[in-house]
Amino acid sequence: MDLIADLVFSKREDTCESGNEYNGELLGARISSVFVVLIASSFGAFFPILSSRYSFIRMPPICFFVAKYFGSGVIIATAFIHLLQPANEALSEECLGGTFAEYPWAFAISLMTLFAMFFAELLAYRAVENKVAGQSHSHFGDEGLYVKKYADEEDDVVKDGQKSDADFSQDLENPLPNPYPSHFSHAAEHQDKEVLDTPVNDENKEQYYGQLLNVFVLEFGVVFHSVFVGIALAVSGEEFKTLYVVVVFHQLFEGLGLGTRIATTLWPKDKRWTPWLLAGAYGICTPIAIAAGLGVRTTYPPGSRRALITNGCFDAISSGILLYTGIVELMAHEFLYSNEFKGDKGFKMMLWAFFTMCWGAGLMALLGKWA
């Protein structure tokens, strides 16, 4: 409440900086950054999608494997180094005073966002379960209810350790469809895109909707952050040259992380344009922000009270989104609840994936030295 009161009701005089560091130099290079960042961002976001769909540019599986886990590390490092730390810097500026001087609001906002994300996902999957249940009942009638009861009994028996190998073998010979998989068991079956809209795929719809939710949430957090990155580059001063290079790599790595997640989501035919739209939105958001920043380069005050609070709050919110998505969906889900690392070679692959993710996080964290 103190934060809201300070934002809405306070008449505190703005004693923060009213200008910016733009020095009028390198205008041509600043204009070129719009196009260079557009290319880097678009390549990072679109290449995994193109590679997964068209054989003439299809890369070896190891390249996709590296991009996937490298991108996961990039996203997690972005949350900590490129979002939470700048948010704390902005919201703890001495010139803000009031409640900002008394409480670490950046961490609090990030924490609240993380819990809000979890609660929203609980509600979303509850709604998905009800939707899938309704569709299953309409497709299977009373048989659908019997299947649910059968599946629940199966779960109880397995939990009690009463299921024998012979019983499992018999079940495999006479399987019954289960339209009620639990999202929180993180079932890892892959879906057939050709049957996404048929009763055959009811058992995978919950996982599919979960993938969609995760991708949209990740896109939301990344795009917010990228907008402020573009504005900061446009109005930067002496550090422009360094920041230019860092932002290009930043957008490339972040785009690879996002693009890989978009590419691994199985989209139905009626949503075949969605991955391209998501990748395109990421590709153009930073260049548009750079262009807007150049348009107000002599008047935009990034150190003003309003700008500090706005940037700090949005960075903190984005950090909470990426922390939740990165740790829960990218780390825990991919490593602990996936079938990708099963079998004799699974442990070796898991180590490769883990160290690839560490490299992604390490390089992105290193970029935080300059931006």
- Determine whether 245 is exposed, middle or buried from the number of CB atoms within 10 Å of its CB (0-12, 13-18, 19+): middle
Q: DSSP class of residue 339?
A: S
Tokens 């079938």 locate to 339
Q: Would you state the structure tokens that stand for residue 96, as one six-digit string?
A: 């803000």
Task: For the chain, report the end-to-end CA distance as a whole number of angstroms.
Answer: 32
**Ordered per-residue pLDDT tens for the chain, 371 residues:** 555 555 544 445 567 777 667 777 788 888 999 999 999 999 989 988 888 777 666 677 787 788 888 888 988 999 999 899 999 999 998 888 888 989 999 999 999 999 998 898 888 778 777 776 666 555 555 444 444 444 454 455 444 445 444 454 454 444 444 433 444 444 444 444 444 444 334 445 556 666 777 788 888 888 888 888 888 888 887 788 888 998 898 889 888 888 888 887 777 777 788 889 999 999 999 999 999 988 887 777 888 888 889 889 999 998 998 899 888 888 888 888 777 788 777 888 899 999 999 999 999 999 888 87
Q: Which amino acid is at 326?
A: G
- pTM over the 0.95 mark: no
Nearest residue to 198 via CA among 274, 125, 135, 130: 135
pLDDT in tens, 320-349: 988 998 888 888 888 887 777 887 778 888
Q: Output the pLDDT for position 71.
A: 86
Q: Output the pLDDT for position 135.
A: 63
pLDDT in tens, 123-154: 877 877 777 666 655 555 544 444 444 445 44
Asked if 78 and 321 count as a contact pair (C-beta separation under 8 A), the reply is no
Q: What does the chain come to in residues?
A: 371
Q: DSSP class of residue 13?
A: -
Output the CA torsion 167→173→176→178 (10° steps).
80
Helices 105-140 and 202-234: crossing angle in degrees, nearest 10, is: 150
Q: Which amino acid is at 142?
A: D
Q: How many CB atoms lie within 10 A of CB 1?
A: 6
Nearest residue to 319 via CA among 105, 100, 85: 85
Q: How many CB atoms lie within 10 A of CB 329?
A: 22
Ranges of beta strands (E only) in 122-189 are: none
